[in-house]
Amino acid sequence: MSSSASADPSASLAPAEREIILPEARMHIYRPTEPVTARVTRSEICTSRKAAGFTRHLEFDVSGTNLVGQVLPGQSIGVLAPGIDTKGRPHAVRLYSVASPTGGEDGSGTIISTTVKRTIDEHWESHKLFLGVCSNYLCDLNVGDEVKLSGPNGKKFLLPADAASHDYLFFATGTGIAPFRGMVLDLLRKRVNCRVTLVMGSPYSTDLMYDELFRSLAKEHANFRYLTAISRERQSNGSGPMYVQDRITAPDTREELAALLAGPRTLIYVCGIAGMELGIFQKMASVLPAGVLEQYLKADPAAMADIPSWSRKMLHREIKPTKRVFLEVYA
Ligand SMILES: Cc1cc2nc3c(=O)[nH]c(=O)nc-3n(C[C@H](O)[C@H](O)[C@H](O)COP(=O)(O)OP(=O)(O)OC[C@H]3O[C@@H](n4cnc5c(N)ncnc54)[C@H](O)[C@@H]3O)c2cc1C
């Protein structure tokens, strides 16, 4: 790990400008061309059995490999499905976010996990069944089966080295929950003195992943808040359908989220479906006082004058997240 935030030369800067020091994550220990063999030790549905899709929590034993103890939540691992693609080449590597905490599922870093949603659709042209190669390969695997892994990948979507110096607001949709499972477990197990709020969004409540785990963690840990946002049915308290960003303005959560965001040490992490960050940023820009907003977002005055017209093309140009915002979104 690198030095803590107190040794950071930018410590005298305003919080939004301060460098957030991340741990030094190892990357590409195994390249996709030279993957390592791991073994499946667990495969279980991690939504309600009634969910329309199929999402599994998968654990891999990496003992005897150089991945032991080197895989952090927020990184991803590569999976090489056997077989060849339509062009006769071996299937390209697919990335899957790590769901295990630092030290893995077992504490010694030999069991790592991920969360895989089967890609199932009708083929766009032929309307025949379309099955994604790697997600279905992974979800078909049984305990004891071998799997070829590469990685780890990524070094930017990590908890800070000095995790106890911050509070956290995590937004997840779909399998974007994977890194937050690991990060929440890390933060709560270390019993660090910080506030952790997780907002998990899904179309139906049956699609929520690791719901029981998060509910029991929220009961056990006063510093952990678990909020859900269900977009195609009413919330458990009877209020209307909402997306993750609507939690920022929902009558029952807006005060606590505004207070969390106003804190000088809060960091925002967003993971899931590409584009979800736009709605979160629009909601923040619409309701947060300028002094709080600029801690997380710098937007051109022209953009601020017309928040509803923001588009993904404007992200990182007219609308720039600050160092207090971490994004990992994928299609
Ligand atoms: C950093 C990162 C982290 C990720 N983490 C996770 C994770 O934790 N869990 C997870 O489940 N996924 C994750 N993904 C996505 C994952 O890598 C795969 O893209 C996903 O599982 C689909 O792969 P597949 O091989 O099953 O599907 P593929 O065989 O690759 O098929 C999907 C592709 O086929 C095309 N396609 C889709 N539907 C149709 C259709 N109806 N007709 C014709 N073509 C179609 C699309 O071009 C799509 O890209 C992550 C991706 C990234 C980049």
Taking only the tens place, the pLDDT of each residue in 24-79 is: 999 999 999 999 999 999 999 999 999 999 999 999 999 999 999 999 999 999 99
Mean pLDDT along residues 156-169: 96
Question: What is the rounded CA–CA span in Å between residue 244 and residue 203?
Answer: 10
Structure tokens at 260: 């969390």
Question: What is the rounded CA–CA span in Å between residue 141 and residue 216?
Answer: 29
Report the predicted TM-score, pTM, of the whole model to 2 decimal places: 0.94
Query: Could you read off the pLDDT of 91-124 as tens digits, one per residue?
Result: 999 999 999 999 999 999 999 999 999 999 999 8
With a cut of 60, say whether residue 6 has pLDDT above it.
no
Among protein residues, the one whose CA lies closest to atom 13 of ligand 1 = 96
- Percentage of the chain with pLDDT > 70? 95
Q: Is the CB of 94 under 6 A from ligand 1?
A: yes
Q: Which residue out of 47, 98, 117, 119 has the highest number of ligand 1 atoms within 8 Å of its CB and is therefore the one to mutate?
A: 119
**C-alpha of residue 52 to centroid of ligand 1, in Å:** 17
Q: Order of strands across the sheet with 94-97?
A: 94-97, 76-80, 146-153, 36-45, 55-61, 111-117
Ligand 1 atom nearest residue 154's Cα: 1
pLDDT at 13 (0 to 100): 60
Query: Which CATH code of 3.40.50.720, 1.10.10.10, 3.40.640.10, 3.40.50.80 fits the domain covering 156-330?
Result: 3.40.50.80
Ligand 1 atom nearest residue 178's Cα: 8
Residue entry with tokens 């160092």: 323
Question: Residues of CATH 3.40.50.80 domain(s) within the chain?
Answer: 156-330
Letter string b/e over residues 235-260, b meaning 16 or more CB atoms within 10 A of that residue's CB: beeeeeebbbbbbbebeebeeebeeb
Q: Is the CB of 117 under 6 A from ligand 1?
A: yes
Q: Is the CB of 100 under 6 A from ligand 1?
A: no
**C-alpha of residue 166 to centroid of ligand 1, in Å:** 33
Helix or strand or coil: residue 39? strand
- State the fold for domain 36-153: Elongation Factor Tu (Ef-tu); domain 3 (2.40.30)
Ligand 1 atom nearest residue 116's Cα: 11
Helix or strand or coil: residue 120? strand
Question: Residues of CATH 2.40.30.10 domain(s) within the chain?
Answer: 36-153
Among protein residues, the one whose CA lies closest to atom 48 of ligand 1 = 132
Q: Is the CB of 209 under 6 A from ligand 1?
A: no
